[in-house]
A and B are shown apart, each in its own frame.
Chain A
Amino acid sequence: MIVANGKPLEEIIEVVKDHRKILVAGCNECVTVCEVGGSKEVGILASALRLHFLNQGIDAQVGETTLQRQCDREYVVGAREEVEPHDIVVSIACGVGCQFMAEEYDTMPVVPGVNTSFMGGALERGIWSERCQGCGACVLATTAGICPVSRCAKRVLNGPCGGSTKGKCEISKDLDCAWQLIVDRLKSLGRLEDYETLAPIKDWTTDRAGGPRTRVKEEVAS
């Protein structure tokens, strides 16, 4: 899933303070699962904003909505009746959802209420960890299912750097060295010989070297 962090309330207030009809828009997908942008968080942020305006003696309306998916035009278009009576939208979906809203409602300011951070999963309730950078050329088959691009601080592709100590990364003693994890798992799989193979110099064209990416599935694209 896409993992995000809520922006500080003061930062959101600074952006919306001159508006009087504010819509807080959440999303039922990733940001709901990572507990930052679902209907529950929409309610909390909207209440906080109402309290702010009340304390300032300002008459402002703060609406609430949660779309099924803000990264899907079908749902974004479907929210028109809720969006249009307002004069600003605070999207607490990921950066994709926020942009899809802005693209659809071209005269409506749409601002983010979260900082979109990474693609990852929950280690346990309340703790999420990065697992993928979307480099576009997955190497997991040769790295025992552990991604050196997203989990090694230096994106090293051919074994640990000199900063790996007792299985931990040089940037933090709390961070596992991705290559230690890879070597350990290759051993468990009985495939340590994979570690001997030199990875080819990475082609970053599929990452961002080729500019923003678009995927077309021709059999379904109209």
Chain B
Amino acid sequence: MSFAQKLADGQFATLVELEPPKGVEVGAFVGHAQRIKGKVDAVVVPEMANAVMKLSSLGGCMLLAGKGLETVLQVCCRDRNRLALQADLLAAASLGITNVMAVEGEAPSYGDHHKARAVYDLDELELMQVIAKLCAGKDMAGVELEGAPSFTVGATLNTGALGTVQQELAELDKKLAAGAQYFLTPPVFDLDSLAAFTKHLGDREVKLIPNVLLLKSVGMARAIGRHLKHVHMPDSLIGRVKDAPDRVRECVLIAQELIAGIKAAGYSGVMISPLGWEDRLPQILGA
């Protein structure tokens, strides 16, 4: 069953985020994906996350599609103008990609090519409107397409924005109106904090897919708690990793518990970000 069908049927979907390599040695990237084939519904391939130059999302998606994996293409406003964005979307659809996510993209100053001139011809919402228009058979200039693409469109929702909930809900409404069919969240380490946000959603039909970022150490947990202002890192969780006799095993256990908790709470799915722990994915997904 495809990711889109699972979303439509209300079945729990499992996504995994896999970073493509910086270079053309794709063996590890493809290998990680092949080891989780059958255990995930789709692999999200980031488009130069944090403005660090890497093999593109479209290229990564095609490499994985060639091995029989379903993918989610990220389409990023930072590096392409409206011509290139539309051209790549048509290319993606013609190559069999059915899932896309519009992302704004971090500014080049975040990344490893800080001298770059950013594009931002369209913003995330405008891009989503363009995707909807392409799916309806026309390009931005209003010209009829020779065959329209069909995409399941995702977007981001900052569920960590507890201090500015109304603003975030206004953003959410705009994204829903622009055609977003599911939403990915920032990393979640505390399901109560996530629930505190979701109770504000009211009667909106939001298919929410929380993100589970794999913790790897006490230092990482502390750094997340200190520096990521939209991520709630409970002190008890830091303490749990710190006091564990086998910290790696404890981190794996935490990820498994979070995934189970997200599933039990009735969310539409989960997206797991291994960030270097790709080799532990089979163990985590096998639970």
A residues whose Cβ falls under 8 Å from a Cβ of B? 201-205, 207-211
Q: How far is the CB of B83 from chain A (nearest CB, A)?
A: 14
- Chain B interface mostly: loop
Q: Which residues of B contact A201 (CB under 8 A)?
A: 115
Would you list the 6 A-B pairs with minimal beta carbon distance, nearest first? A204-B117, A203-B115, A209-B108, A205-B115, A210-B109, A209-B117
User: B206: shortest Cβ distance to chain A, in Å?
Assistant: 32
Query: 21 A-B pairs, CB-CB below 8 angstroms?
Result: A201-B115, A202-B117, A203-B115, A204-B108, A204-B115, A204-B116, A204-B117, A205-B109, A205-B114, A205-B115, A207-B117, A208-B117, A209-B107, A209-B108, A209-B114, A209-B117, A209-B118, A210-B109, A210-B114, A211-B107, A211-B109
- Mark B99-110 against chain A: 1 for CB-CB distance below 8 A, else 0: 000000001110
Chain B residues in 8 Å Cβ range of A211 = 107, 109
Q: How far is the CA of A209 from the CA of B108 in the complex (A)?
A: 6
B interface, how many residues as a size bin? under 10
Q: Give Cα A210–Cα B115 distance, bound, in whole angstroms.
A: 8
Instruction: List chain A residues, Cβ under 8 A from B109.
Output: 205, 209-211
The A-contacting residues of B in range 111-141, CB under 8 angstroms, are: 114-118
Residues 12-56 of chain B, each 1 if its beta carbon lies under 8 Å from chain A, else 0 = 000000000000000000000000000000000000000000000
Which residues of the partner chain B approach A205 to less than 8 Å between Cβ atoms? Answer: 109, 114-115
Nearest-neighbour CB distance to chain A for B112, whole angstroms, equals 13
Q: Which residues of B contact A209 (CB under 8 A)?
A: 107-109, 114-118
State in angstroms the CA–CA spacing of A207 and B114 once bound together.
11
Residues of B close to A208: CB separation below 8 A: 117-118
Q: How long is the Cα–Cα vector from A220 to B109 in the complex, in angstroms?
A: 29
Residues on the A chain within 8 Å of B114, using CB? 205, 209-210
- Told that A203-B115, A205-B115, A209-B114 touch, could you supply 11 new A-B pairs with CB distance under 8 A? A201-B115, A202-B117, A204-B108, A205-B109, A205-B114, A209-B107, A209-B108, A209-B115, A209-B116, A209-B118, A211-B109
A12 to B91, CA, bound (A): 43
**Which chain A positions have C-beta within 8 A of B118?**
208-209
Q: Considering the chains assembled together, what is the distance between the CA atoms of A202 and B108 in angstroms?
A: 14
Q: How far is the CA of A209 from the CA of B115 in the complex (A)?
A: 7
CA distance A160 to B117 in the complex (A): 20
Q: Name which of B108, B109, B115, B116 has the most chain A CB atoms within 10 A of its CB.
A: B115
Shortest C-beta distance, B129 to chain A (Å), equals: 23
Give the shortest distance, in Å, between B84 (CB) and chain A (any CB). 15
Instruction: Report chain A residues within 8 Å CB of B117.
Output: 202, 204, 207-209
- A204 CB to nearest B CB, Å: 4
A201 to B108, CA, bound (A): 16
Residue of A nearest to B120 (CB): A208
> Which residues from B are CB-within-8-Å of A202?
115, 117
Instruction: Report the separation of the CA atoms of residues A91 and B115 in the bound assembly, to the nearest whole angstrom.
Output: 35
> Which chain A positions have C-beta within 8 A of B115?
201-205, 209
A210 to B108, alpha carbons, bound, how many Å?
8
Which residues of chain B have C-beta atoms less than 8 A from A204's C-beta? 108, 115-117
What 0/1 pattern do residues 263 to 287 of B give for CB contact below 8 A with A?
0000000000000000000000000
Interface centre among A203, A207, A208, A209, by most chain B C-beta atoms within 10 angstroms, is: A209
**Smallest distance from the beta carbon of B277 to chain A beta carbons, Å?**
33
- The complex places the Cα of A157 from the Cα of B109 at a distance, in Å, of 22
A168 to chain B, nearest CB (A): 24
- Who on chain A is nearest to B113 by CB? A209
- Complex: how many Å from CA A74 to CA B200? 45
Minimal beta-carbon separation of B168 from chain A (angstroms): 23
A190 to B77 CA separation, bound complex (whole angstroms): 45
Highest count of chain A CB atoms <10 Å: which of B107, B108, B117: B117
| Assembled-state Cα–Cα distance A201/B107 (Å) | 19
Cα distance, A208 to B109, chains bound together (Å): 10
- Cα distance A205–B118 when bound, in Å? 10
How far does the Cβ of A139 sit from chain B's closest Cβ, in whole Å? 15
- Report the separation of the CA atoms of residues A107 and B25 in the bound assembly, to the nearest whole angstrom: 58
Task: Give chain A nearest CB distance to B259 CB in angstroms.
Answer: 37
Distance between A127 CB and nearest chain B CB, rounded to angstroms: 29
Residue of A nearest to B107 (CB): A211
Cβ contacts under 8 Å, B107 to chain A: 209, 211
Cα-based distance from A183 to B118 in the complex (angstroms) = 29
Q: Tell me the bound Cα distance from A205 to B115 in angstroms.
A: 5
C-alpha gap A203/B113 in the complex (Å) = 10
